[in-house]
Amino acid sequence: MRYGVNYTPSTGWFYHWLDFRPDDLARDLDTVAELGVDHIRIFPLWPVIQPHRTLIRERALADVETLIEVAGQRGLDVSVDGLQGHLSSFDFLPAWLSTWHRRNLFTDPTVIESTAAYLRRLAEACSQHPNVFALTIGNEVNQFTGDLHPQPFPATSEQAGLWAQTMIDALHEGAPALPALQACYDATWYNPTQPFTPTQAATIGDITAVHSWVFNGTAQLYGADSFPTQAHARYLVELARAFQVDPHRPVWLQEVGVPRNVIAPEQADAFMEATFANLNGAPDLFGITWWASHDVDPALEDFPPLEYSLGLIDQAGKVKPEGRKFAALIDHARRTASAAAEPRPEPPTEDPRPILPLDLDRVGGRTGLAPGGVFWTMYMRQARTAHPRIVIEGAPHA
Amino acid sequence: MRYGVNYTPSTGWFYHWLDFRPDDLARDLDTVAELGVDHIRIFPLWPVIQPHRTLIRERALADVETLIEVAGQRGLDVSVDGLQGHLSSFDFLPAWLSTWHRRNLFTDPTVIESTAAYLRRLAEACSQHPNVFALTIGNEVNQFTGDLHPQPFPATSEQAGLWAQTMIDALHEGAPALPALQACYDATWYNPTQPFTPTQAATIGDITAVHSWVFNGTAQLYGADSFPTQAHARYLVELARAFQVDPHRPVWLQEVGVPRNVIAPEQADAFMEATFANLNGAPDLFGITWWASHDVDPALEDFPPLEYSLGLIDQAGKVKPEGRKFAALIDHARRTASAAAEPRPEPPTEDPRPILPLDLDRVGGRTGLAPGGVFWTMYMRQARTAHPRIVIEGAPHA
């Protein structure tokens, strides 16, 4: 079980790729390592590495490798996302996809080929470093399509799935030994118009990633201190597992955080504690990676307000109360796990928990899975006693 | 009278700003200086300098200053464009103007304020260097609006004019001693749907810039070796002058080149010679700046084919026949000018040439000015004898 943070550099946010200074990053990661985490997730800016369709900048790849090394020197493993792409409301897209060169990220054959080339090269570079443990296509690439949000690149679910598999293949070609995965924001699970589907999320690549953000309506509907808000991350983990073909495929809670727009500072402790408690016992949970390491610099205006306070560490490099809480929760979880591991025999291969059947057609499709939906409500009712195992019934779904 | 080139770096094209290596640029500019030019026009990438609305990168400004110094060491003056923006079909726009942060470049007050801040800082940096002689808002910023092309940012002519004046003010605030100007592609003169108008181009800022590209229909309609094709640059210079309030305001032929899609290699010599011959005697012509210094690297795919062969110097740093011709034309023009200057008395303050009246309403507006249009045809007929002075009659135009 891995514990880590999504690394948001304190100086220059992700623009640090344009002003790459390893010393700044080293100072950040010294503090990150103090939290007791074993890994960070990092986010190269795609247009900085591949500013032209046929130009992949060697120096930018070298910078990624340097950051990986700086992390390694502090005992931190690294997961690398490729297509950023989307980061905290900002979309970094290369000029070769816009205006005169407008082409669909997900469906244009030339774009697909060139994007795959980028991921292949990035994977190759990452594979040189023993502390890299996973590669993600890109952060919430599904933000670029669907009806819910600005959608520069329409795609059908078939096109989305084909694209995701092609990108996974590229990562595997570049780094055959590394797990590769895709990362979707929760429209995949909750929104019927989102082309990237739950089944794709749960079957393409080697790990299923879920991103748990309770500002998605959960905290607004139920309250910051409510059970559904505190169990939201676990629910996504169980929902993801239900769509998997391989029941033991790892599920990674790749993003979870305390958004200040729906959780007050004095509620943060309880939210974090209960989120961990609810995740306790989730089978084959790969890891918990908190968003984020550092607060965003207020001098960088225009972010949604909540983004400025998501850090476990403040702008000055001081660990915040949330950071201390996270460190304590990791420590406690590790000690409990190691105490439990000793006397206990091999776990049963069959999940012994009570079953909650899910028939997508009967619950109204993905809308029924969303906060307040039919299935969601059934799950939350049953989970108060014990988190059930969700088992899909009825027609198979793409 | 200035002669120069638009500097297109041989290594990495404008992506050199991401991999800034002064030695590469110095080698390019050694060859440029051999052509006998007195200046270069340079193009920072806006999103590299201002990747976030409230982040103007000092190191990127320092790189611009270094390039200015490298040019100065070779006796080259420098003109700096700010908002790139549009370059050879590629549009470099910052993430803070797109998708979730979609805001109109020309009309959003916050964007206007922040863009002005960028130009002010860029102008300040440039003003430290005695070899900088002019500042342009940005290369063909009017590509971003109008009905003819992809138009991410609609604007009325009133908004366009207000925007341009605000940007000129910002450049003046940053560099009070330097001429500031805007640069429009020729839709401003020829297309009635283009918000940026001829009068604005001819009155806002300190210099009027024209960009002469005969692939705009001229060469297609009349042929590469035709008089209108060879006189196109001069026509634009005269047209620009007609819209000026100050008759002696300088007009700068800021871009002119030999596009291979309409001019065959064996026709290049005649085109260049005749373009220069037609420009001879144009009053208050500020300068001729050829596009471009270097061919675009064929490894950088996706450019319109003609862009790969526009250089006066090839990829390997060898001066092409066009480069030698340009050098010879400059040399000849300078010697003719200095021979003429000696015996001749002060030129008359009143332009003695025959007048060609222009009533915009009567010729069908800007359509009548375009290649093959009513007024265009009248001009070209009369210009075969001698280039007339265009004088606007009828209603004044915005």
Residues of A within 8 A of B59 (CB-CB) are 19
C-alpha to C-alpha distance for A377 and A41, rounded to whole angstroms: 32
Residues 6+ apart with CB under 8 A from B66: B20, B22
Q: Are the Cβ atoms of A302 and B52 closer than 8 angstroms?
A: yes
What are the helix (H) ranges across A204-349?
218-222, 227-243, 265-279, 321-341
* Model confidence at B320: pLDDT above 60: yes
C-alpha to C-alpha distance for A74 and A39, rounded to whole angstroms: 10
Q: Are the Cβ atoms of B99 and A91 closer than 8 angstroms?
A: yes
Q: Are the Cβ atoms of A100 and B91 closer than 8 angstroms?
A: yes
A118: its two tokens = 């980028």
Tell me the pLDDT band of B343, cut-offs 50, 70 and 90.
low
Question: For residue range A163-219, what is the model confidence (pLDDT) as tens digits?
Answer: 999 999 999 999 999 999 999 999 999 999 999 999 999 999 999 999 999 999 999
Asked if omega into B292 is within 30° of 0 (cis), the reply is: yes
Question: Which of A18, A89, A92 should we substitute to test contact with B (largest number of B Cβ atoms within 10 Å)?
Answer: A18
Tell me the pLDDT band of A375, cut-offs 50, 70 and 90.
very high
* Model confidence at A348: pLDDT above 80: no
* Model confidence at B398: pLDDT above 60: no
Q: Are the Cβ atoms of A18 and B99 closer than 8 angstroms?
A: no
* Model confidence at A18: pLDDT above 60: yes
C-alpha to C-alpha distance for A88 and A116, rounded to whole angstroms: 24
Residues of B within 8 A of A52 (CB-CB) are 13, 15, 300-302
Say what the pLDDT of residue B352 is. 85
Return the residue matching tokens 């139920």.
Answer: A222
- The verdict on A227 touching B (C-beta cutoff 8 Å) is no
Residues of B within 8 A of A90 (CB-CB) are 95-96, 100-101
**Distance, CA of B192 to chain centre:** 20
CB contact at 8 A, B197 and B157? yes
CB contact at 8 A, A286 and A2? yes
Q: How far is CA A64 from CA A39, A127, B212, B249, in A?
A: 15, 12, 43, 51
Measured in angstroms, the CA of A366 and the nearest CA of chain B are apart by 24
CB pairs under 8 A between A and B: 88
Return the residue matching tokens 């079957």.
Answer: A203
Tell me the pLDDT band of B350, cut-offs 50, 70 and 90.
confident
* A306-A311-A313-A315 Cα dihedral, nearest 10 degrees: -50
Q: Are the Cβ atoms of B48 and A18 closer than 8 angstroms?
A: yes
Residues of B within 8 A of A301 (CB-CB) are 52-54
C-alpha to C-alpha distance for A383 and A380, rounded to whole angstroms: 5
Measured in angstroms, the CA of B245 and the nearest CA of chain A are apart by 35
C-alpha to C-alpha distance for A237 and A244, rounded to whole angstroms: 11
Q: Are the Cβ atoms of B13 and A52 closer than 8 angstroms?
A: yes
| Per-residue burial over B98-128, b = 16 or more CB atoms within 10 Å of its CB, e = otherwise | bbbbebbbbbeeebbebbbbbbbbbbebbbe
Domains of chain B, start order: 2-350 (3.20.20.80)
Q: Pick the closest to residue A314 from A61, A70, A32 (CA basis).
A: A32
Single-letter amino acid, residue B171: L
Backbone CA torsion sign across A308, A309, A311, A313: positive
Tell me the pLDDT band of A55, cut-offs 50, 70 and 90.
very high
Single-letter amino acid, residue B174: G
- The verdict on B113 touching A (C-beta cutoff 8 Å) is no
Indicate the pairing of strand A90-91 with strand A86-87.
antiparallel
Measured in angstroms, the CA of A54 and the nearest CA of chain B are apart by 6
Q: Are the Cβ atoms of A55 and B299 closer than 8 angstroms?
A: yes
Residues of A within 8 A of B18 (CB-CB) are 18, 48, 51, 57, 60
Q: Are the Cβ atoms of B51 and A18 closer than 8 angstroms?
A: yes
pTM: 0.96
